[in-house]
Structure 1
C-alpha cells in the first residue's frame, strides 16, 4: 500500500540533490480561479500549470490492463504516461518538499480533476486503490467528515455515482452537472458543479452580456456557493482576443471558481492584471 508513497519520497531526495527541482524555484503564487483544461497536452504536464500559478488541473485517464494511462483519445496513450508518473508522484514530491503544501506558504489546495474516459466502475475501482497510496497528501471523506489536505481529487467523465456514494472512506469527490444543482447533494460528496457553457448560455463575448444571461450566471453561482459548491464551465471561448477576455471578465465578476483554459500564460496574465 505504501510503495508508491515511498517511491515519491525517494524522488524528493533525488530532486533536492540535483541542481534545481523540475518544478522550478520560480513557480508563481497560486491563482484560485485558474483551471488547466487538458493539462496533459502541455509540454510539461502539471509543472507548466504550477509555474503559471494554476490551482486546478485536468487529466483524462483510461484503464488499460491495470494501468491508468493519461491521454485525450485512446490512440494518444503511451505506456509511461500514467496518472502516477505525470501527476501523483510529482505532487507527492512537491508536497513533501513544501511542508505539506503545493505552493510554499499557501494553504490553497490543488484540485486534480480526473476525467474517466472508459470503464467507469472498473477504472474508478483501480484509481481508488492507487489513491490510497497517496493518502497523506489527499483530501478525504471519512465517515461523514471531510478532511482537507494539499490535493483534492475530483472525478469527472464516466463517474460511478452509486459506488462513490456508498463508500464510507473516499480519497476522491464527485463532479456534478447543472442538473445536480440544489438537489440536496452535499459538498462532502459533490464539491464541484461543471457544465458546458454553450448548453446554458448563447453569449460568446460579442457585445455586452445580455442582462438575463448575466442574471442566470450569477444565480447559478449564488446557489452553488450557498451549498458550499464550486462552479466550472467548459467550452468557453478560448481563442485569444476581445471575445475571450469579455467572457473571462464576466466569469471573474460573477465569482466562477474555475476559469477553464488551454492558454496558461493568457489566463495568468488576465487574472494577475487589474479588474475592470
Structure 2
C-alpha cells in the first residue's frame, strides 16, 4: 500500500511540475552554474528564480560546489552555499521556500564525480530534511551529470529525481522519477542569438519540446545564447526553464517585459 501511495504521489508531482507555461515570470528562470555567481544561491533567490544549478564534487566524503576540480575551495561546500540557506529560508517562511505559497524551487545538482558514491553522500546529507523536499515539500532535487542508469532510479529515495534526456525511452516507472528533461541547445541549432532562429532549427526544437510536454515533463536547454532576443525566442517556443548566467538581468527583464 505504501509503495502504491508513493507511486500516485510521484505521478501527481510530475504533472504539477510538467505544466506548459504561457506566462513567464522568474519562476521559469534557471540560474546556470549558479555557484559562479558573486553570491551563489542568494542572487538567484532574491530574483525568485524557480530553478538553480550547482555542480558537485565528492572529495574526502565532503560535497563541494565547483565547475572544475581545481576550482574547489574549502568554504564552498554544498551545505554552506545551498542546503543551509535553503533550510533557513524555509524556516523563515513557515515551511515554504519563498514567502509566496505557490512558488517552489528546483535545485538541479550536476554530479561531477561518479554517481554511486556521490549520490550516496548526497542522500545522506539530504535525508534528515526529507520533509521539505518534493514530493512532500517545496524544494525539488533533480540530479544531473553522472546519473545512474534509469534501471537504478528505483534504488534511491523518492526525494531524488533525475534529469532525463529526450532521446531516452523510459518506462512508466522510470519516467515517474524524471524531474526534468534537458539537452544541449547545439544538438538542434547553431544559432548565435542574433537575427531570427532558422526555420529548420525552429522545427527541430518544436518537435522535441512537444515530445517532452506530451510526457507531462518540463524541458530545459543548456548552452543557449544568453541575451534578451534568445530569452524571447525560448518563451515563444514554450521552453519551460530559461537558461541564464545573467541572473539580475533576466530577473529585471522578466519583471518588466510585456506579457
With the length of structure 1 as denominator, give the TM-score of the two structures. Answer: 0.79
Q: Which residue of 2 aligns with 1:169?
A: 157
- Residue 259 of structure 1 is matched in structure 2 by 242
1:83 alignment partner, one of 78, 85, 97: 78
Of stretches 169-178 and 228-237 in structure 1, the one that deviates more from structure 2 is 169-178
C-alpha separation between the residues in 2 aligned to 1:209 and 1:57? Answer: 26
Pairwise mapping of residues 19-38 of structure 1 onto structure 2 (< 5 A)?
A: 31-38=26-33
Which 5+ residue runs of structure 1 have no aligned equivalent? 1-29, 140-146, 239-243
Are 1:203 and 2:191 matched, yes or no? yes
Question: Is the contact made by 1:32 and 1:257 (CA closer than 8 Å) also made in structure 2?
Answer: no
SS in 1 for 2:28: strand
Cα pair 2:162 2:177 within 8 Å, conserved: yes
Q: Report the equivalent of 1:12.
A: none
What residue in structure 2 maps to residue 133 of structure 1?
128
- Looking at structure 1, the residues matched to 194 and 113 of structure 2 have their Cα atoms a distance apart, in angstroms, of 37
Distance in 2, Cα, partners of 1:137 & 1:220: 32
8 Å Cα contact 2:105-2:138 kept in structure 1 = yes
How many corresponding residue pairs? Answer: 234
Post-superposition shift, 1:148?
A: 4.4
Q: What RMSD in Å do the two structures reach over aligned CA positions?
A: 1.9
Match of 1:93 in 2: 88
State yes or no: 1:225 paired with 2:208.
Answer: no
Residues of 2 paired with 1:177 and 1:162: CA distance?
11
Aligned to 1:42: 37
**Bigger Rg, structure 1 or 2:** 1
Instruction: Give me the whole-angstrom Cα distance separating, in 1, the residues matched to 2:91 and 2:69.
Output: 33
Q: Give how far 1:206 is off.
A: 2.7
Asked if structure 1 preserves the Cα contact closer than 8 Å seen for 2:188 and 2:204, the reply is no
Of the three residues 231, 247, 252, the one matched with 1:269 is 252
In structure 2, distance between residues paired with 1:259 and 1:138: 23
Paired position in structure 1 for 2:20: none
Comparing 169-178 with 182-191, greater Cα deviation is found at 182-191
Q: Does 1:158 align with 2:141?
A: no
Distance 1:65 1:163 in 2: 28
Q: Which residue of 2 aligns with 1:214?
A: 202
Greater relative contact order: 1 or 2 (C-alpha under 8 angstroms, separation 6 or more)?
2
Distance 2:207 2:86 in 1: 35
Query: Contact (CA 8 Å) 2:31, 2:44: kept in 1 or not?
Result: yes
Aligned-residue offset at 1:128: 1.1
| Alignment CA distance shift 1:163-1:211 (3 Å) | closer
Aligned residue for 1:178, secondary structure, equals coil
Structure 1 residues 56 and 176, CA gap change in structure 2 (3 angstroms): same
For residues 39 and 217 of structure 1, the distance between their equivalents in structure 2, rounded to whole angstroms, comes to 25
